[in-house]
């Protein structure tokens, strides 16, 4: 699955270099929402399957927390854009 970004994050601005979270004004996440979600699903699957060492479990858990935060940040940014668009529409009426 390919990653797409919200309109506030043009695809042309995406690159492989690490970036800050999208909940910061003007910032982009290090990975797109779909990629973070898919990786989070895999992390959860691995944690639920068991059979990993404590160290690996902790590493997976920490990665899962970061991925969940990235996903939430993308969703928060989308919600802000929707709210801003609604405000502009209400102001123009």
| Burial degree of 26 (CB within 10 A; 0-12, 13-18, 19+) | exposed
Taking residue 57's Cβ as centre, other Cβ atoms within 10 Å add up to 14
Average pLDDT per consecutive 10 residues, the chain (93 residues; last block may be shorter): 38 34 54 97 97 97 97 97 92 81
d(CA 36, CA 91): 35
* Confidence (pTM): 0.65
Q: What is the pLDDT of residue 33?
A: 97
Q: What is the pLDDT of residue 93?
A: 73
């Amino acid at each position: 699955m390919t990653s797409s970004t919200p309109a506030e994050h043009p695809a042309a601005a995406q690159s492989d270099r690490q970036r800050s979270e999208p909940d910061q004004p003007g910032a982009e996440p290090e990975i797109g929402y779909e990629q973070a979600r898919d990786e989070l699903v895999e992390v959860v699957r691995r944690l639920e399957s068991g059979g990993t060492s404590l160290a690996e479990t902790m590493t997976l858990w920490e990665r899962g927390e970061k991925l969940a935060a990235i996903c939430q940040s993308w969703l928060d940014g989308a919600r802000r854009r929707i709210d801003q668009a609604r405000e502009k529409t209400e102001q123009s009426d």
